[in-house]
Amino acid sequence: MLEGIICPVCGATLKEEDLRESLVCVHCKTDLHSRDYLDFLEYLMTNGIVENLDFFDTDVYQEDIERLDPEDEEEVDPSEYEKKKDNFSLYENEMIPTTQEEDIPDYEEFEGLDEDWEEFNRREYDSF
Question: In the prediction, which pLDDT does 1 show?
Answer: 46
Q: Which of 30, 29, 32, 35 is nearest to 59 (CA)?
A: 35
41 CB neighbour count, 10 Å cutoff:
23
Return d(Cα 112, Cα 48) in angstroms, integer.
Answer: 92
The residue extents of the domains of the chain are: 16-72
Is this prediction's pTM over 0.75? no
Task: Report how far residue 3's alpha carbon sits from residue 14's, in angstroms, rounded to the nearest whole number.
Answer: 9
pLDDT digits (tens, 9 = 90+) for 82-104: 666 655 555 555 666 666 666 66
Residue 41 near residue 23, CB atoms below 8 Å: yes
Residue 29 has pLDDT above 70, yes or no: yes
